[in-house]
Amino acid sequence: MAVQLKTTGSSSKQSTTRWRGILLSTILVALLFVGLYSQPLFFDEDGLDQKPISKKLHTNQAVFDPSHGRDRPLILYAYAESDNARENLEFFVKRGLHARADFIFIFNGETDAVGMIPTNLENVKIVQRENTCYDIGAFGQVLAKDGLWMKYKRFITLNASIRGPFLPVWSDECWTDAFLNKLSDTVKLVGLSYHCVPSPHVQSMLLATDRVGMKILLDPTYAYSVPLDTPPWGGAELPVGYSVCYSDYAQAVHAEIGMARLIRSQGFEVDVMLTSVHAYTPKEYCEVLGPQSDHLGAGNYFGSNVHPYELIFAKANRGIDDALLDHLTEWHYTMNDTSWDKCGRDRP
C-alpha cells in the first residue's frame, strides 16, 4: 500500500528556500567562470609559475580578434618607414602570405605603406601605432592586448629589415613550417643567426616560439630575472623580453641579447637556421669565432657571405651582397609559385 505524503505549509516553505539556495549558488558559480575567462589565463600544466601580464598599453590599437583555431600560427610583422623596408614589405606581401596562418602587420609611425597590405584577406590584419617601444616592445604590446597571445600556440615575429622568404626551387616546404617545426619540448626559441657578442644570443630580426616560450618572454615578472651586463647596450638592472616598452635603442638591443638567456634560465634551449652553428656546441662556436661573430655583414661569414637560402630570409639593409639580393628578388618575383602554393590557399 502506497503511502501518500501530505505537503504541509512548513515543508513547502522549506522546499522554496532550498531551491532559492540552489539557484543562488548556480548564479555565483556562473559569475565566477565569467570573471575567470574575461582575463588572460596562464596554464599551470606548462610547468611555469606564471603571473598575469599587465594589460596597460602605451598607445591605442585595433587588435585582431581571431575566430579560428589555436593551431594556426600567428605571424607579426613590424614595419617602420624607409626605402629598404618598403622593398622588403612588398616582397613579403607578394611571396610570404598564405592561408594557413594569421598575419598582423604592425606599422610604427607615419607611413602610407599600409596601402600595400591586401584588404580582402580575413587572416590579414593591420595595427597602426606611434613609433615607440622599438620592435620588441611593439610586439609585446600587440600580443598582450586583450590576451591575444593566449589564442595561439605558435608565433613568429619578424621585422622589415629582412627580405624573404627565399626558398630554392627544389624545396616544397612552407617557410613558416621551416621555423616552427624546429620548436620542440626542449627548444622554445628559434631564429636566423647566433651572435656571441657581447653575450651569446639569437638575433631578433626573426624569432619563432610557442606558447611556453611566449609566456616566458611576455611575463614582466621574468623580465628582470636574468641580470646581464651587455656593454655598451645596458647593465644588469635593465629588463629583457617582450613585456617592456623600451625607450631607447640601447635598451632594445639589450632586451634582444637577453632573450635567449631568459629562455635558457627556465630550462629550455634555443636554435637557429645558420648551418655553421650546428658544427659546434654554443660555447665552442663562440670560442672559435672570438669577437667577430656577427655573420650578417659583408664578408663576415668565415670570409664569405651568408646565402639567403641558408636562412630563408636575407638581412637586406647592410649591403651584404646587394647584387645577389637584387637577382634573387627579381628571379623569385618571376616564379609562378608563392607561399600560397607551398603553404596552402585554404584555411584549415
Check residue 234 and give its pLDDT: 66
Angle 341-205-288 from CA coordinates, rounded to 5°: 115
CA distance 278 to 300: 17
Residue-range domain boundaries for the chain: 74-342
Query: Tens digit of pLDDT for each residue in 177-213?
Result: 999 999 999 999 999 988 887 878 898 999 999 999 9
CA distance 291 to 282: 14
Query: Tens digit of pLDDT for each residue in 121-145?
Result: 999 999 999 999 999 999 999 999 9
Check residue 43 and give its pLDDT: 26
At 137, phi and psi to the nearest 5?
A: -70, -35
When pLDDT is averaged across residues 30-59 and rounded to a whole number, the result is 33
Check residue 231 and give its pLDDT: 66
More confident residue, 171 or 251: 171
Grid cell listed for 297: 655583414
- State the CATH architecture for 74-342: Alpha-Beta Complex (3.90)
Please, what is the average pLDDT of the chain?
A: 80
Q: Is the pLDDT of residue 26 over 90?
A: no
CA distance 222 to 220: 5
Query: Tens digit of pLDDT for each residue in 268-293?
Result: 999 999 998 899 887 788 888 776 66
Q: Which of 189, 175, 193, 177 is closest to 307 using CA atoms?
A: 193
What type of residue is 62? Answer: A
Lowest mean pLDDT among 82-91, 147-156, 281-290: 281-290
pTM: 0.79
Check residue 92 and give its pLDDT: 98
Q: Is the pLDDT of residue 237 over 90?
A: no
Q: Give the CA distances from residue 67 to residues 123, 181, 186, 253, in Å, rounded to whole numbers and listed in that order.
A: 9, 24, 30, 34
Angle 118-149-273 from CA coordinates, rounded to 5°: 75
Instruction: Give the three-class secondary structure for 293.
Output: coil
Report the share of the chain in percent with pLDDT over 70.
Answer: 76
Q: Is the pLDDT of residue 31 over 80?
A: no
Q: Is the pLDDT of residue 227 over 60?
A: yes
When pLDDT is averaged across residues 216-241 and rounded to a whole number, the result is 80
CB atoms within 10 A of CB 44: 9
Q: How confident is the model at residue 69 (pLDDT cuts 50, 70, 90)?
A: very low
When pLDDT is averaged across residues 310-324 and rounded to a whole number, the result is 87
Q: Is the pLDDT of residue 113 over 80?
A: yes
Grid cell listed for 77: 610583422
Q: How confident is the model at residue 21 (pLDDT cuts 50, 70, 90)?
A: low
Lowest mean pLDDT among 12-26, 34-48, 310-324: 34-48
What type of residue is 153? Answer: K
